[in-house]
Amino acid sequence: MASSDRKVSAPLSRSIRGTTPARLQDLASTPESPRTPIRATSSLFGSPGGGFRTEDEYLVLELGSRFVRGGFPGESAPRCTLPFGPDQQRRVGDYRQWDPESTHRRKKRRRDQDWGQDHELYRLDLTEVDLGLVEDKFERAMREAYNKYFLLDPKPRRILLALPPRTPHPLMSTVLEVLFGNFQAPSIMLMSSPILSTVAAGLRSALVVDIGWAETTVTGVCEYREVHEQRSIRAGKLLSEDMAKLLNAQFNENVEEGSPKVGVSFEEAEEVLTRVGWCKSRPRSDRKTLYFPARTSPVLEEFEDAVELPEPTITIPFTHSMPPTELTVPFASLAKPTESALFAPDTPLNELDDHELPLHHLIYRALLSLPMDVRRLCMSRIIITGGVSNLPGLKTRILSELEALVQQRGWDPVRSYGSASARHEQILRKQKENLELQREEADDKVSESLDPDTPSAPLSPGLQDPEVDPIDTKLAHLALTGGPPSTCCVGGTIRGVETLGAWAGASLVAQLRIKGIVEIERERFLQHGLLGASREKEVSVVPQRQSMGPGVGRGAGERASWTLGVWA
């Protein structure tokens, strides 16, 4: 009866909040006027509906702009990761990708297409997107997934779909149409990918930095809820374009005058990037000029990278060009695209637009705009995910850049005090001095307490240590033994946490049979489309709880209304 277990589970808000506490909290916090609960008396006494009999089996899908991942709950990795490349868009019966001749031909970008556009499923600017084409591509990929990798029996499966928050509605509706229409899913549960990444990291609150293809999104997640979001176009697309520029420059350096210039294809740049691209783990050394508070972070203790002799190089084979060539590139230069595309160290911040902030500034700003207590939780739970985050060294780099930024600026939203900056400096210095003084005095006190003869000068009450309350210590002890371990409330320092990714999170959620807030029934969707969703962002769980009654599900599919949650 595992299936009915899931049914009676309360419809949790968003994702795994503790089952009961979630309801209790909602009970307390829902600012709704009392209303008559919708009672499902008939289902109480009638025979359980068909919903009880169908076994709930899920498929877990994660949709990105370049890949779709699919698999089954409880598995640690997706069964398939399908790209949307040009080879996937050929006509049926067009087998040229296996033609040995074509592998030696360098693919050319089409005139009217952006860098890597033919590898994308969609782009967020929908004015340029043919939704019909998106539908075609997605349908074909899903057909491949179903027929080649899932190998299902004809029984329809529910789908847990991980989507980035703020997916445009037309796009969502296209995707849902395909899943409902062509693949007969009885219901689809939507969950937002930052939250699933949080789940896959074992956390409840986190700052999820998703370095994707078209853009990097930084999402503050607090208690499984998105609280803030910032985005920047410094992401995979820019990175691979920069890598292509680097390779082109390297190629054309050696080529003699007059011969045609080489333009590496998207596939080649991508391959180089994923295979040997890397990122310097430490910020550049011209940071000495920066002002640091007294305790400098160990990361920034400057030392020049020891110059290695001979300079290490990487030889990259290019089999797609005719004749196949090799290119030897200094290893250090392979880190340059990451540097320029994601961190933009050479551009002063004031020349950058809001949508192209370097990653560390983006994260810093996101943290800065979070409420203080959420910031405390989030800053020590920074999850860096997304395809680009696999570049070796990138995570370390982001974290150390961020740490430097925090050290330099503190949590002061004002960047320039203008004419008052002198005064501000003064205040800062004073604060620091006070802090130092305090510390010194604390040291002094120890020494003073050692010789009790000399009565110490009375400290100002603000500087005195608060009295130790025995009951407080006792409580702390109790909490330590009974409550959550101390690592659960770590906060206030920059700390990175690894995640298994949104797909694994979705797999966990589906395995634990937890219900999301956005669950779309096939019938309802086919009737009204996305317009059928209720307008409220958060459907209150309270009336549902009552209507469900204790342990008497109204069947999973009988919610009175459905909502689009974050996507509304």
Q: At what angle are helices 131-144 and 169-181 packed, to 10 degrees?
A: 40
Backbone angles phi, psi at 39, to 5 degrees: -105, 140
From 312, 323, 413, 466, residue interacting with other proteins (rule: CB under 8 A): 312
Binding mask 391-410 for other proteins (x = CB under 8 A): -xxxxx--x-----------
Point out which residues pair with 226 in neighbouring strands: 221
Closer by beta carbon to other proteins, 151 or else 422: 151
Q: What is the size of the binding site for other proteins (CB under 8 A)?
A: 118
Region of 306 on the Ramachandran plot (φ > 0 left; ψ -120 to 50 alpha; else beta): beta
Closer by beta carbon to other proteins, 45 or else 291: 45
Closer by beta carbon to other proteins, 230 or else 380: 380
Closer by beta carbon to other proteins, 37 or else 448: 37
From 122, 150, 364, 567, residue interacting with other proteins (rule: CB under 8 A): 150
Q: Which of residues 204-223 bind other proteins (CB under 8 A)?
A: 204-205
Q: Are 497 and 382 in contact (CB under 8 A)?
A: yes
Q: How far is the CB of 62 from other proteins (least distance, A)?
A: 12
Three-state SS for 210? strand
Q: What is the DSSP string of 429-457?
A: HHHHHHHHHHHHHHHHHHHHHHSTTSPPP
Nearest alpha carbon to residue 169 among 232, 113, 126: 126
Q: How far is the CB of 113 from other proteins (least distance, A)?
A: 9
Q: How far is the CB of 420 from other proteins (least distance, A)?
A: 38
Question: Which amino acid is residue 315, in one-letter code?
Answer: T
From 29, 103, 285, 390, residue interacting with other proteins (rule: CB under 8 A): 390
Closer by beta carbon to other proteins, 299 or else 459: 299
Work out whether 477 is an interface residue with other proteins (CB under 8 A): yes
Q: How far is the CB of 6 from other proteins (least distance, A)?
A: 9
Work out whether 248 is an interface residue with other proteins (CB under 8 A): no
Q: How far is CA 415 from CA 371, 432, 462, in A?
A: 18, 19, 29
Closer by beta carbon to other proteins, 78 or else 441: 78
From 29, 53, 331, 436, residue interacting with other proteins (rule: CB under 8 A): 331
Q: How far is CA 460 from CA 202, 247, 464, in A?
A: 44, 65, 7
List all residues 6 or more positions away from 334 whose beta carbon is below 8 Å from its beta carbon: 246, 272, 276, 277, 278, 314
Work out whether 485 is an interface residue with other proteins (CB under 8 A): yes
Q: Which of residues 250-279 bind other proteins (CB under 8 A)?
A: 270-271, 274-276, 278
Cis ω on the peptide bond leading into residue 293 (within 30° of 0)?
A: no
Work out whether 411 is an interface residue with other proteins (CB under 8 A): no
Interface with other proteins by CB under 8 A: which range of 249-257, 283-291, 410-418, 480-488?
A: 480-488
CB-based contacts of 109-115 (< 8 A; 24+ apart in sequence): 109/265, 109/266, 115/237, 115/240, 115/241, 115/244, 115/266
Q: Which of residues 505-534 bind other proteins (CB under 8 A)?
A: 507-508, 511-512, 529
Q: Which of residues 357-386 bind other proteins (CB under 8 A)?
A: 382, 384
List all residues 6 or more positions away from 243 whose beta carbon is below 8 Å from its beta carbon: 269, 272, 273, 277, 337
Q: What is the DSSP string of 228-243?
A: EEEEES-SHHHHHHHH
From 34, 42, 46, 151, residue interacting with other proteins (rule: CB under 8 A): 151
Q: How far is the CB of 274 from other proteins (least distance, A)?
A: 6
Q: How far is the CB of 199 from other proteins (least distance, A)?
A: 8
Three-state SS for 188? strand
Q: Which of residues 90-149 bind other proteins (CB under 8 A)?
A: 90-96, 99, 107-108, 110-111, 126-127, 130-133, 135-137, 139-140, 143, 146-149
Interface with other proteins by CB under 8 A: which range of 6-14, 350-358, 361-369, 560-568?
A: 6-14
Region of 444 on the Ramachandran plot (φ > 0 left; ψ -120 to 50 alpha; else beta): alpha
Q: How far is the CB of 247 from other proteins (least distance, A)?
A: 13
Work out whether 480 is an interface residue with other proteins (CB under 8 A): yes
| Beta-sheet strand order (sheet of 216-221) | 226-232, 216-221, 206-211, 382-385
Q: Calculate ∠ Cα 297-203-372, nearest 5°.
A: 55
Q: How far apart are CA 249 and CA 243, in angstroms?
A: 10
Cis ω on the peptide bond leading into residue 310 (within 30° of 0)?
A: yes
Binding mask 38-77 for other proteins (x = CB under 8 A): ------xx--x---x---------------------x-xx
What separation, in Å, do the N-terminal and C-terminal C-alpha atoms of the chain show? 34
Report the DSSP pairing between strands 158-163 and 187-192.
Answer: parallel
Work out whether 305 is an interface residue with other proteins (CB under 8 A): no
Q: Which of residues 491-510 bind other proteins (CB under 8 A)?
A: 495-498, 500-501, 504, 507-508
Closer by beta carbon to other proteins, 441 or else 501: 501
Q: How far is the CB of 31 from other proteins (least distance, A)?
A: 20
Closer by beta carbon to other proteins, 13 or else 441: 13
Q: What is the DSSP string of 2-31?
A: HHHHHHHS---SSS---HHHHHHHHHHH--
Interface with other proteins by CB under 8 A: which range of 347-355, 412-420, 458-466, 548-556?
A: 548-556
Nearest alpha carbon to residue 511 among 273, 160, 214: 160
Work out whether 9 is an interface residue with other proteins (CB under 8 A): yes
Q: How far is the CB of 314 from other proteins (least distance, A)?
A: 5
